[in-house]
Structure 1
Amino acid sequence: MTHIVVAIDGSAASQEALNQAATIARQSHADLTGVFVIDSQWPDFIGNDWQSSKGARQGFLDYIREEQEQQAEAARKQFETTVNGMPAAIFSVEAGDPAEVVLQLASKPSIDLLVLSRRVFQVSGRPSLKTLGERLGRKATRPFLLYP
């Protein structure tokens, strides 16, 4: 095993997955990448008629963006605290539909193992993330560990 990826969001829900990914990476001397996904799909999800006011819609989108940026920073700190100087450990922030990004990671040939919690990215995520575990089970082509 040479490359492990763990999806994290700075919440307690992703800590167990991060702990396990770090342990496996240490034991197998694998590279470890922590990934946070900023959900760029909110404008499409809420539509254009939201509260019939452009200002209200934009205000909500700004609020969501700021919340996700704070979560990304919390995830980075969570990752750095857990890996604590581990060689070959990097943190990455991606943008897109979190479910699609995770599914892409779960099928990427260069990734030996994807580790995540069933509840990752649900802090400010859209309802579609609640079925992420089921979608991974159907579509992933690489090994993954899914924690409750």
Structure 2
Amino acid sequence: MKHIMVATDLSERSDRALRRATLLARQWDADITLVNAVDEDRPRRIVEEERREALSLLQDMAATLRNIDGVRCKVEVVLGEPSQAIIQVAAAMAPDLLVIGPHRRQLFRDIFIGTTAERTIRAASCPVLMVNAAPAAPYRHVLLTTDLSDGSRAAIAAYAGLGIAGTVAHSILHVFDAPLLGLALPAAMDERDRRLYIEEEGQKAALALETFCASTAVGSAKCFLRYEQTTAKHEILSGAADVHADLIVLATHGKSGLQKLLLGSVTEQVLRDAAVDVLAIPPATAI
């Protein structure tokens, strides 16, 4: 990893993204580019004033990174709708990693859909790291998720190529389901039959996961299963808590190998609710 782009709105939330990017840059001797987008759909005088202020703040931040942290840093202020502007800059710069802060959470209302964070992750062609937790140290335990597809295997390979976690502990989680239980058939099953059926599906999934893990680019990973008793999101977040993971890695596409809208997907749900950092790997990177 040689180039990290940090998208910042100059808020305290974005400070988390900057600190994590700084830790990664120092770990891998990478360059950082700080990018701020100024919405230009306002009177020109206001836009220019905000652009000058943003540039001044970014230059101060860059000077601190260079002088205090010893990190090479450039800055850029772009005009445009924030998510589109960030996506365009990322496409032009082709960073190894785009780092963003957490989305704004609001009580009783999910505002992740349509936010700058969601639109950026959906459209970015490079891996996007959403920094949810306050960075204090390098990552210690990374949870890699898989649906056992080739696309998922490619996403894990793309993660390994980044070198984000170095020699930290890894776990690979597969959440399996019991498809017949979603049909009308379970009405004729008693509790014992249901339990035996889930056990059989778990055994099949365990064999498939063992084969999958043997073919990944991440060695010495602990592979484990969870049954999708409620939702895949819940099982992933619970699995992350069980192994004390401080980073979750997900692909933004499913078994079809085709990119799906993030809206309503497992990836979107995990990004919305995770308390730890989440790395989203897009198909363009993974395949």
TM-score, normalised to structure 2's length? 0.37
Q: Are 2:65 and 2:73, in contact at CA under 8 Å, matched by a contact in 1?
A: no
Alignment match, 2:73: 89
Alignment match, 1:21: 21
Q: Residues 84 and 15 from structure 1, CA distance in 2 versus in 1: closer, same or farther, beyond 3 angstroms? A: farther
Whole-angstrom distance in 2 between the partners of 1:88 and 1:73 = 17
Which consecutive unaligned segments of at least 5 residues does structure 2 have? 105-113, 133-287
Q: Are 1:9 and 1:75, in contact at CA under 8 Å, matched by a contact in 2?
A: no
Whole-angstrom distance in 2 between the partners of 1:115 and 1:144 = 6
Q: What letter is aligned with 1:77?
A: D
Q: For residues 42-87 of structure 1, give each alpha carbon's deviation from its aligned partner in whole angstroms, at most 9, with x where no partner exists.
A: 14xxxxxxxxxxxxxx5xx423432342233223213322443635
Q: Residues 77 and 103 from structure 1, CA distance in 2 versus in 1: closer, same or farther, beyond 3 angstroms? A: same
Pairwise CA distance, 1:5: 0.5
Question: How many residues in Structure 1 have an aligned counterpart in Structure 2?
Answer: 123
Q: Summarize the alignment of residues 50-129 of structure 1 with structure 2, pairs less than 5 Å apart.
A: 58=43, 61-84=44-67, 86-107=70-91, 110-118=94-102
Percent pairwise identity:
32
Q: What letter is aligned with 1:143?
A: P
Which gives a bigger RCO, structure 1 or 2 (Cα 8 Å, sep 6+)? 1
Whole-angstrom distance in 1 between the partners of 2:93 and 2:71 = 22
Q: Residues 113 and 7 from structure 1, CA distance in 2 versus in 1: closer, same or farther, beyond 3 angstroms? A: same
Whole-angstrom distance in 2 between the partners of 1:9 and 1:79 = 15
Indicate the SS of the match to 2:115.
helix
Alignment match, 1:3: 3
Whole-angstrom distance in 1 between the partners of 2:5 and 2:18 = 9
Whole-angstrom distance in 2 between the partners of 1:100 and 1:137 = 11
Which consecutive unaligned segments of at least 5 residues does structure 1 have? 44-57, 121-129
Whole-angstrom distance in 1 between the partners of 2:37 and 2:96 = 20
Which stretch has the larger CA shift, 14-23 or 73-82?
Answer: 73-82
Alignment match, 2:245: none
Q: Are 2:25 and 2:71, in contact at CA under 8 Å, matched by a contact in 1?
A: no
Q: Residues 13 and 80 from structure 1, CA distance in 2 versus in 1: closer, same or farther, beyond 3 angstroms? A: farther
